[in-house]
Amino acid sequence: MRSITVASGKGGTGKTTLSALFAHMAAESLNVVVADADVEASNLPLALRLEHGSCEVFEGGLKAVIRADRCSACGVCAEACRFGAISVDDERYRVDAVVCEGCGTCAYVCPLDAVSMVRQKAGEACTGMSVVGPIAYGQLRPGYDLSGKLVTEVRSRAVALGAVHGADVLIIDGPPGTGCPAIASITGTDLIVAVAEPTRSGAHDLGRLETLARRFALGVVVVLNKADLSSAGAREVRDLCTARDLPLLAEIPFDPALVDALAGLASGATLGDMPAKSQAMRIVRETWEQLDAMLSESGPAVYRPKPAWR
Ligand code: SF4
Ligand code: SF4
Protein backbone atom coordinates (compact mmCIF):
# COMPACT_ATOMS: atom_id res chain seq x y z
CA MET A 1 0.00 0.00 0.00
CA ARG A 2 1.39 3.36 -1.05
CA SER A 3 0.77 6.45 1.01
CA ILE A 4 0.63 10.19 0.50
CA THR A 5 0.35 12.87 3.14
CA VAL A 6 -1.35 16.11 2.19
CA ALA A 7 0.41 18.62 4.42
CA SER A 8 0.81 22.34 4.86
CA GLY A 9 3.06 24.56 6.90
CA LYS A 10 -0.01 26.43 8.17
CA GLY A 11 -3.76 26.03 8.46
CA GLY A 12 -6.36 27.35 6.03
CA THR A 13 -4.56 26.43 2.81
CA GLY A 14 -7.28 24.07 1.55
CA LYS A 15 -5.46 20.90 2.60
CA THR A 16 -8.57 19.04 3.75
CA THR A 17 -10.54 20.07 0.65
CA LEU A 18 -7.80 18.65 -1.57
CA SER A 19 -7.42 15.52 0.58
CA ALA A 20 -11.13 14.81 0.26
CA LEU A 21 -11.20 15.45 -3.48
CA PHE A 22 -8.10 13.29 -4.04
CA ALA A 23 -9.74 10.52 -2.00
CA HIS A 24 -12.88 10.66 -4.13
CA MET A 25 -10.85 10.65 -7.34
CA ALA A 26 -8.62 7.82 -6.14
CA ALA A 27 -11.67 5.77 -5.18
CA GLU A 28 -12.84 5.75 -8.80
CA SER A 29 -10.15 3.21 -9.70
CA LEU A 30 -8.36 2.17 -6.49
CA ASN A 31 -9.07 0.68 -3.08
CA VAL A 32 -8.56 3.65 -0.79
CA VAL A 33 -8.08 4.04 2.94
CA VAL A 34 -7.93 7.50 4.46
CA ALA A 35 -6.56 8.88 7.71
CA ASP A 36 -7.48 12.21 9.22
CA ALA A 37 -4.31 13.10 11.09
CA ASP A 38 -5.53 16.58 11.96
CA VAL A 39 -6.63 15.39 15.39
CA GLU A 40 -7.08 18.87 16.81
CA ALA A 41 -9.62 19.81 14.14
CA SER A 42 -10.79 16.60 12.55
CA ASN A 43 -13.28 17.22 9.74
CA LEU A 44 -12.35 14.74 7.01
CA PRO A 45 -14.96 12.26 8.32
CA LEU A 46 -17.59 14.93 7.65
CA ALA A 47 -16.27 15.67 4.18
CA LEU A 48 -16.17 11.96 3.32
CA ARG A 49 -19.56 11.15 4.82
CA LEU A 50 -18.59 8.87 7.66
CA GLU A 51 -21.34 6.26 7.70
CA HIS A 52 -20.51 4.43 10.89
CA GLY A 53 -17.57 4.78 13.17
CA SER A 54 -16.46 3.53 16.55
CA CYS A 55 -14.08 5.19 18.96
CA GLU A 56 -11.91 4.10 21.83
CA VAL A 57 -10.46 6.15 24.62
CA PHE A 58 -6.99 7.45 23.92
CA GLU A 59 -5.22 7.73 27.24
CA GLY A 60 -2.94 10.62 27.96
CA GLY A 61 -0.42 11.26 30.69
CA LEU A 62 -0.87 11.48 34.43
CA LYS A 63 -2.39 14.47 36.19
CA ALA A 64 -2.42 15.23 39.91
CA VAL A 65 -5.70 15.09 41.80
CA ILE A 66 -5.98 16.25 45.40
CA ARG A 67 -8.22 14.22 47.69
CA ALA A 68 -10.09 16.78 49.79
CA ASP A 69 -10.87 14.24 52.53
CA ARG A 70 -7.16 13.76 53.23
CA CYS A 71 -5.85 17.27 52.61
CA SER A 72 -4.97 19.45 55.61
CA ALA A 73 -4.45 22.56 53.47
CA CYS A 74 -0.80 22.86 54.50
CA GLY A 75 0.18 24.30 51.09
CA VAL A 76 3.37 22.28 50.70
CA CYS A 77 2.29 20.96 47.30
CA ALA A 78 1.50 24.42 45.91
CA GLU A 79 4.95 25.67 46.98
CA ALA A 80 6.62 22.67 45.35
CA CYS A 81 4.79 22.84 42.04
CA ARG A 82 7.07 24.62 39.55
CA PHE A 83 4.28 24.99 37.02
CA GLY A 84 1.87 26.95 39.20
CA ALA A 85 -0.79 24.31 38.67
CA ILE A 86 -2.03 24.24 42.27
CA SER A 87 -4.18 27.03 43.63
CA VAL A 88 -6.05 27.59 46.85
CA ASP A 89 -9.54 28.90 47.22
CA ASP A 90 -11.17 29.19 50.61
CA GLU A 91 -8.50 26.87 52.07
CA ARG A 92 -9.21 24.19 49.47
CA TYR A 93 -6.28 23.22 47.29
CA ARG A 94 -7.00 22.30 43.70
CA VAL A 95 -5.01 21.23 40.65
CA ASP A 96 -5.62 22.88 37.30
CA ALA A 97 -5.54 19.84 34.99
CA VAL A 98 -4.72 21.95 31.94
CA VAL A 99 -1.61 23.44 33.58
CA CYS A 100 -0.48 20.28 35.41
CA GLU A 101 2.49 18.63 33.67
CA GLY A 102 2.11 15.38 35.61
CA CYS A 103 5.60 15.55 37.12
CA GLY A 104 4.41 14.00 40.41
CA THR A 105 6.31 16.39 42.69
CA CYS A 106 3.18 17.32 44.65
CA ALA A 107 2.41 13.66 45.31
CA TYR A 108 6.01 13.15 46.45
CA VAL A 109 6.05 16.06 48.90
CA CYS A 110 2.53 15.76 50.32
CA PRO A 111 2.92 14.62 53.95
CA LEU A 112 -0.58 13.13 54.06
CA ASP A 113 -0.53 11.17 50.82
CA ALA A 114 -3.46 13.27 49.66
CA VAL A 115 -2.38 13.55 46.02
CA SER A 116 -3.11 10.84 43.48
CA MET A 117 -1.66 10.71 39.99
CA VAL A 118 -4.52 9.78 37.66
CA ARG A 119 -4.29 8.84 33.99
CA GLN A 120 -6.45 11.15 31.91
CA LYS A 121 -8.61 10.64 28.86
CA ALA A 122 -6.77 12.73 26.26
CA GLY A 123 -9.05 12.00 23.36
CA GLU A 124 -10.42 9.29 21.13
CA ALA A 125 -8.99 7.13 18.36
CA CYS A 126 -11.61 6.03 15.86
CA THR A 127 -12.19 3.93 12.78
CA GLY A 128 -15.16 3.74 10.47
CA MET A 129 -16.40 3.49 6.93
CA SER A 130 -16.67 6.53 4.67
CA VAL A 131 -18.13 6.90 1.22
CA VAL A 132 -14.67 6.35 -0.33
CA GLY A 133 -13.55 3.50 1.93
CA PRO A 134 -12.31 2.80 5.45
CA ILE A 135 -11.22 5.80 7.49
CA ALA A 136 -9.22 6.30 10.69
CA TYR A 137 -9.46 9.51 12.64
CA GLY A 138 -9.10 10.92 16.12
CA GLN A 139 -10.07 13.76 18.38
CA LEU A 140 -7.75 15.30 20.93
CA ARG A 141 -9.39 16.98 23.91
CA PRO A 142 -8.58 20.68 24.37
CA GLY A 143 -5.57 21.33 26.58
CA TYR A 144 -3.85 18.00 25.88
CA ASP A 145 -0.57 17.98 24.06
CA LEU A 146 -0.26 14.39 22.91
CA SER A 147 -1.34 15.03 19.35
CA GLY A 148 1.78 13.37 17.91
CA LYS A 149 1.03 10.13 19.76
CA LEU A 150 -2.60 10.25 18.71
CA VAL A 151 -1.62 10.86 15.07
CA THR A 152 0.64 7.81 15.26
CA GLU A 153 -2.27 5.80 16.65
CA VAL A 154 -4.57 7.03 13.87
CA ARG A 155 -2.00 6.11 11.23
CA SER A 156 -1.51 2.65 12.74
CA ARG A 157 -5.25 2.10 12.60
CA ALA A 158 -5.37 3.26 8.99
CA VAL A 159 -2.57 0.88 8.00
CA ALA A 160 -4.38 -1.98 9.74
CA LEU A 161 -7.61 -1.08 7.93
CA GLY A 162 -5.73 -0.92 4.66
CA ALA A 163 -4.32 -4.39 5.20
CA VAL A 164 -7.74 -5.84 6.01
CA HIS A 165 -9.42 -4.20 3.01
CA GLY A 166 -6.56 -4.73 0.56
CA ALA A 167 -6.13 -0.99 0.01
CA ASP A 168 -3.93 0.27 -2.83
CA VAL A 169 -3.35 3.70 -1.39
CA LEU A 170 -3.49 5.48 1.95
CA ILE A 171 -4.32 9.18 1.79
CA ILE A 172 -3.44 11.10 4.95
CA ASP A 173 -4.84 14.53 5.68
CA GLY A 174 -2.00 15.89 7.78
CA PRO A 175 -2.17 18.49 10.52
CA PRO A 176 -0.96 22.02 9.77
CA GLY A 177 2.48 23.14 10.91
CA THR A 178 5.79 21.39 11.35
CA GLY A 179 5.56 20.22 14.94
CA CYS A 180 5.23 16.80 16.53
CA PRO A 181 1.85 15.90 14.93
CA ALA A 182 3.11 16.92 11.48
CA ILE A 183 6.21 14.75 11.93
CA ALA A 184 4.01 11.84 12.99
CA SER A 185 1.87 12.30 9.89
CA ILE A 186 4.71 12.36 7.34
CA THR A 187 7.11 9.79 8.80
CA GLY A 188 7.53 6.93 6.37
CA THR A 189 5.05 8.27 3.82
CA ASP A 190 5.86 7.77 0.14
CA LEU A 191 5.10 11.32 -0.89
CA ILE A 192 4.25 14.64 0.74
CA VAL A 193 1.90 16.95 -1.12
CA ALA A 194 2.71 20.34 0.37
CA VAL A 195 -0.24 22.70 -0.08
CA ALA A 196 0.79 26.35 -0.01
CA GLU A 197 -1.09 29.61 -0.34
CA PRO A 198 0.22 32.65 -2.25
CA THR A 199 1.45 34.78 0.64
CA ARG A 200 4.82 35.58 2.15
CA SER A 201 3.93 33.54 5.23
CA GLY A 202 2.72 30.76 2.92
CA ALA A 203 6.14 30.66 1.26
CA HIS A 204 7.89 30.80 4.62
CA ASP A 205 5.81 27.93 6.04
CA LEU A 206 6.35 25.90 2.89
CA GLY A 207 10.09 26.39 3.39
CA ARG A 208 9.82 25.04 6.93
CA LEU A 209 7.86 22.03 5.74
CA GLU A 210 10.43 21.33 3.02
CA THR A 211 13.23 21.55 5.59
CA LEU A 212 11.38 19.04 7.75
CA ALA A 213 10.85 16.71 4.78
CA ARG A 214 14.54 17.02 3.88
CA ARG A 215 15.43 15.96 7.40
CA PHE A 216 13.54 12.71 6.84
CA ALA A 217 14.57 12.35 3.16
CA LEU A 218 10.93 12.26 2.06
CA GLY A 219 9.59 13.04 -1.40
CA VAL A 220 7.81 16.38 -1.73
CA VAL A 221 5.73 18.07 -4.40
CA VAL A 222 4.02 21.43 -4.06
CA VAL A 223 0.49 22.51 -4.91
CA LEU A 224 -0.07 26.26 -4.88
CA ASN A 225 -3.71 26.74 -3.95
CA LYS A 226 -5.75 29.93 -4.56
CA ALA A 227 -2.81 30.89 -6.75
CA ASP A 228 -4.47 33.90 -8.36
CA LEU A 229 -5.28 35.70 -5.12
CA SER A 230 -1.87 37.39 -4.92
CA SER A 231 0.59 37.60 -7.79
CA ALA A 232 3.35 38.77 -5.44
CA GLY A 233 2.67 35.95 -2.99
CA ALA A 234 2.50 33.39 -5.79
CA ARG A 235 5.86 34.65 -7.07
CA GLU A 236 7.40 34.10 -3.63
CA VAL A 237 6.18 30.52 -3.55
CA ARG A 238 7.42 29.90 -7.11
CA ASP A 239 10.81 31.44 -6.26
CA LEU A 240 11.12 29.22 -3.21
CA CYS A 241 10.29 26.14 -5.28
CA THR A 242 12.95 27.13 -7.82
CA ALA A 243 15.55 27.90 -5.16
CA ARG A 244 15.01 24.57 -3.42
CA ASP A 245 14.45 22.52 -6.57
CA LEU A 246 10.94 21.61 -5.48
CA PRO A 247 8.48 20.47 -8.16
CA LEU A 248 5.53 22.85 -8.34
CA LEU A 249 2.98 20.29 -9.43
CA ALA A 250 -0.04 22.55 -9.87
CA GLU A 251 -1.37 26.04 -9.41
CA ILE A 252 -5.05 25.98 -8.57
CA PRO A 253 -6.97 29.25 -8.94
CA PHE A 254 -9.33 30.38 -6.23
CA ASP A 255 -12.72 28.95 -7.07
CA PRO A 256 -15.69 28.67 -4.70
CA ALA A 257 -16.76 25.70 -6.86
CA LEU A 258 -14.18 23.60 -5.00
CA VAL A 259 -15.76 24.26 -1.64
CA ASP A 260 -19.22 23.77 -3.16
CA ALA A 261 -18.00 20.49 -4.61
CA LEU A 262 -16.81 19.36 -1.21
CA ALA A 263 -20.12 20.33 0.39
CA GLY A 264 -21.96 18.47 -2.37
CA LEU A 265 -19.84 15.34 -1.94
CA ALA A 266 -20.41 15.52 1.81
CA SER A 267 -24.15 15.53 1.29
CA GLY A 268 -24.43 12.71 -1.21
CA ALA A 269 -23.39 14.06 -4.61
CA THR A 270 -20.81 12.25 -6.73
CA LEU A 271 -17.88 13.54 -8.73
CA GLY A 272 -20.01 13.14 -11.83
CA ASP A 273 -22.35 15.81 -10.43
CA MET A 274 -19.54 18.34 -10.14
CA PRO A 275 -19.37 21.43 -12.35
CA ALA A 276 -17.61 20.31 -15.52
CA LYS A 277 -16.56 23.84 -16.41
CA SER A 278 -14.62 24.57 -13.22
CA GLN A 279 -10.99 25.11 -14.14
CA ALA A 280 -9.99 24.48 -10.52
CA MET A 281 -11.74 21.09 -10.50
CA ARG A 282 -10.02 20.17 -13.75
CA ILE A 283 -6.63 21.07 -12.28
CA VAL A 284 -7.35 19.09 -9.11
CA ARG A 285 -8.16 16.05 -11.23
CA GLU A 286 -4.99 16.49 -13.30
CA THR A 287 -3.04 16.86 -10.08
CA TRP A 288 -4.43 13.62 -8.72
CA GLU A 289 -3.56 11.85 -11.97
CA GLN A 290 0.02 13.09 -11.66
CA LEU A 291 0.20 11.97 -8.03
CA ASP A 292 -1.18 8.56 -8.94
CA ALA A 293 1.48 8.23 -11.63
CA MET A 294 4.21 9.29 -9.20
CA LEU A 295 3.08 6.72 -6.66
CA SER A 296 3.00 3.92 -9.17
CA GLU A 297 6.23 2.01 -9.54
CA SER A 298 6.60 2.92 -13.18
CA GLY A 299 5.73 6.57 -12.63
CA PRO A 300 8.04 9.56 -12.94
CA ALA A 301 10.78 9.98 -10.37
CA VAL A 302 9.69 11.84 -7.29
CA TYR A 303 11.69 14.69 -5.85
CA ARG A 304 13.53 13.26 -2.90
CA PRO A 305 15.65 15.87 -1.17
CA LYS A 306 19.06 15.08 0.21
CA PRO A 307 18.95 14.60 3.96
CA ALA A 308 20.03 17.73 5.83
CA TRP A 309 22.90 15.98 7.56
CA ARG A 310 24.68 14.97 4.36
S1 SF4 B 1 0.63 18.98 50.44
FE2 SF4 B 1 -1.03 17.46 50.67
S3 SF4 B 1 -2.03 18.04 52.52
FE4 SF4 B 1 -0.78 19.78 51.98
S5 SF4 B 1 -2.15 21.10 50.75
FE6 SF4 B 1 -1.14 19.77 49.31
S7 SF4 B 1 -2.48 18.02 49.07
FE8 SF4 B 1 -3.12 19.09 50.93
S1 SF4 C 1 2.05 16.83 39.12
FE2 SF4 C 1 3.65 18.38 38.97
S3 SF4 C 1 2.78 19.92 37.61
FE4 SF4 C 1 1.09 18.66 38.32
S5 SF4 C 1 0.31 19.74 40.08
FE6 SF4 C 1 1.77 18.24 40.83
S7 SF4 C 1 3.71 19.33 40.98
FE8 SF4 C 1 2.34 20.57 39.70
How many angstroms separate the alpha carbon of residue 79 from the centre of ligand 2?
A: 10
The predicted model gives 11-15 an average pLDDT of 83
Return the CATH number at 266.
Answer: 3.40.50.300
pLDDT digits (tens, 9 = 90+) for 71-122: 999 999 999 999 999 999 988 999 998 899 999 999 999 999 999 999 888 8
In this predicted structure, what is the pLDDT of residue 11? 76
Statement: residue 48 has pLDDT above 80? yes
Tell me if residue 182 falls in helix, strand or coil.
Answer: helix
Residue 305 is assigned to a structural domain of this protein: no
* Whole-number percent of the chain with pLDDT over 90: 55
If one counts every other C-beta atom within 10 angstroms of the C-beta of residue 300, the result is 10
Given 104, 121, 138, the domain boundary residue is: 121
Q: Is the CB of 93 under 6 A from ligand 1?
A: yes
38 with 141, same domain? yes
In this predicted structure, what is the pLDDT of residue 177? 81
Given 100, 121, 142, the domain boundary residue is: 121
Return the CATH number at 101.
Answer: 3.30.70.20
How many angstroms separate the alpha carbon of residue 72 from the centre of ligand 1?
A: 6
User: Which ligand 2 atom sits nearest the alpha carbon of residue 101?
Assistant: 3
Bigger pLDDT: 108 vs 258:
108
Q: Are 254 and 12 in contact (CB under 8 A)?
A: no
Residue 54 is assigned to a structural domain of this protein: no
Mutate to test the pocket of ligand 1, among 86, 93, 100, 109 (most ligand atoms within 8 A of CB): 93
155 with 240, same domain? yes
Residue 218 is assigned to a structural domain of this protein: yes
165 with 218, same domain? yes
Q: Is the CB of 65 under 6 A from ligand 2?
A: no
Statement: residue 67 has pLDDT above 60? yes
Instruction: Give the torsion sign (CA, 128, 57, 139, 172).
Output: negative
41 with 111, same domain? no
In this predicted structure, what is the pLDDT of residue 90? 87
77 with 114, same domain? yes
Atom 4 (ligand 2) nearest CA: 100
How many angstroms separate the alpha carbon of residue 70 from the centre of ligand 1?
A: 8
In this predicted structure, what is the pLDDT of residue 241? 93
How many angstroms separate the alpha carbon of residue 141 from the centre of ligand 1?
A: 28
Residue 155 is assigned to a structural domain of this protein: yes
147 with 216, same domain? yes
The predicted model gives 248-273 an average pLDDT of 84
- The CA distance from 60 to 99, in Å, is 14
Residue 181 is assigned to a structural domain of this protein: yes
Residue 307 is assigned to a structural domain of this protein: no
How many angstroms separate the alpha carbon of residue 85 from the centre of ligand 2?
A: 6
206 with 278, same domain? yes
Number of domain units in the chain: 2
In this predicted structure, what is the pLDDT of residue 278? 82
In this predicted structure, what is the pLDDT of residue 309? 45
Q: Is the CB of 75 under 6 A from ligand 1?
A: yes
Task: Return mean pLDDT, the chain.
Answer: 88
Residue (of 129, 178, 287, 177) closest to 222 by Cα position: 287
Statement: residue 310 has pLDDT above 60? no
Residue 300 is assigned to a structural domain of this protein: no
Residue 303 is assigned to a structural domain of this protein: no
Given 121, 147, 164, the domain boundary residue is: 121
- Banded pLDDT at 31 (limits 50, 70, 90): very high
- Banded pLDDT at 52 (limits 50, 70, 90): confident
173 with 153, same domain? yes
Q: Domain range for residue 88?
A: 61-121
180 with 274, same domain? yes
Q: Is the CB of 104 under 6 A from ligand 2?
A: yes
197 with 81, same domain? no
In this predicted structure, what is the pLDDT of residue 279? 87
Q: Are 18 and 225 in contact (CB under 8 A)?
A: yes
Mutate to test the pocket of ligand 2, among 63, 66, 71, 81 (most ligand atoms within 8 A of CB): 81
Instruction: Name the H helices within the chain.
Output: 15-26, 44-47, 76-80, 105-109, 147-165, 180-186, 200-215, 231-243, 256-266, 279-295
pLDDT digits (tens, 9 = 90+) for 270-299: 777 776 678 888 899 999 999 998 887 655
193 with 171, same domain? yes
- Banded pLDDT at 142 (limits 50, 70, 90): confident
165 with 224, same domain? yes
